[in-house]
Amino acid sequence: PRILILGAPGAGKGTQSAKITAEFDVDHITTGDALRNNKEMDISDMDTEYDTPGEYMDRGELVPDDVVNAIVDEALSQADGFVLDGYPRNLEQAEELEDMTELDVVLYLDVSEEELVHRLTGRRMDPETGDIYHLEYNPPEDPEVEDRLVQRDDDTEETVKERLSVFQENTQPVIEHYEEQGDLERVDGEQAPDEVWADVKSTIERNA
Ligand code: AP5
Ligand code: ZN
């Protein structure tokens, strides 16, 4: 299936995408991870305000559309089934996406702002596997993993605030756009991860 997963920063897109790729035969296409792996890439020839993606990301701002559109276009051309995570983040990107591919299901993980802040500030990553944890909700069992956990550069309180306001201003209209088209499958993302997964899985199965 061709799956789009939408949600605010910290809504659980990465967490649910990992479950989706384990269950269904799809690639995980994530602009956030792709950009984090290329934070120092020189984009100054694209006439951008800053010279690298990292300078946007560490401020909580969106990386310019031209950079992100190229990443998604390339990844989609190599994928049959996919779960697309982190894109589109504004109406211009949504329009680009419509020219690139069709979608079978558009999921939206609905989570309150208070919970989002709690999830983002408590999130930790395993730099070796890329696995996502939470200090309180989902701590690793292995003490060796616990010792090497790192915090994402943009999970500081100040940057989290900026990311949430960028979401409200730029991405909320994308969600409304899919809702108006009648395509949006709203999932209660505030439930425990396994309960969210049960809803995500059945929604995909109904639409695939
Ligand atoms: P990106 O990496 O996409 O970040 P984001 O959208 O802010 O989302 P997150 O990855 O923070 O959250 P998530 O929804 O994946 O939640 P997770 O599963 O980790 O983008 C980063 C930056 O890159 C952007 O700010 C921008 O600069 C740039 N960028 C990316 N795409 C772009 C684009 N298209 N255009 C322009 N710029 C772009 O979960 C969060 C935490 O909660 C974890 O600790 C997890 O364990 C926990 N958790 C998850 N589910 C639950 C649950 N059900 N109950 C309790 N805890 C849970
Ligand atoms: Zn993510």
| pLDDT tens figures, 63-122 | 999 999 999 999 999 999 999 999 999 999 999 999 999 999 999 999 999 999 999 999
CA distances from 123 to 10, 34, 98, 136 (A): 9, 19, 32, 9
CA distances from 47 to 42, 52, 68, 162 (A): 11, 11, 14, 23
Which residue type does 57 have?
A: M
| Ligand 1 within 6 A of CB of 106 | no
**Ligand 1 site-directed mutation target among 4, 6, 13, most atoms within 8 Å of CB:** 13
> Which atom in ligand 1 lies closest to the alpha carbon of residue 61?
27
131 C-alpha to ligand 2 centroid (Å)? 11
Which residue type does 81 have?
A: G
Ligand number nearest to the C-alpha of 5: 1
Active-site annotation holds for 13: yes
| Ligand 1 within 6 A of CB of 197 | no
pLDDT band at 170 (very low <50, low <70, confident <90, very high): very high
Question: Is the ipTM value over 0.90, yes or no?
Answer: yes
pLDDT of residue 208: 86
Q: Which residues are annotated as a binding site for AMP?
A: 31, 36, 61-63, 86-89, 93, 152, 163
| pLDDT tens figures, 135-145 | 999 999 999 99
- pTM for the whole structure: 0.97
Q: Is CATH 3.40.50.300 correct for 2-207?
A: yes
Active-site annotation holds for 152: yes
| Ligand 1 within 6 A of CB of 56 | yes
Residue ranges of the domains in the chain? 2-207
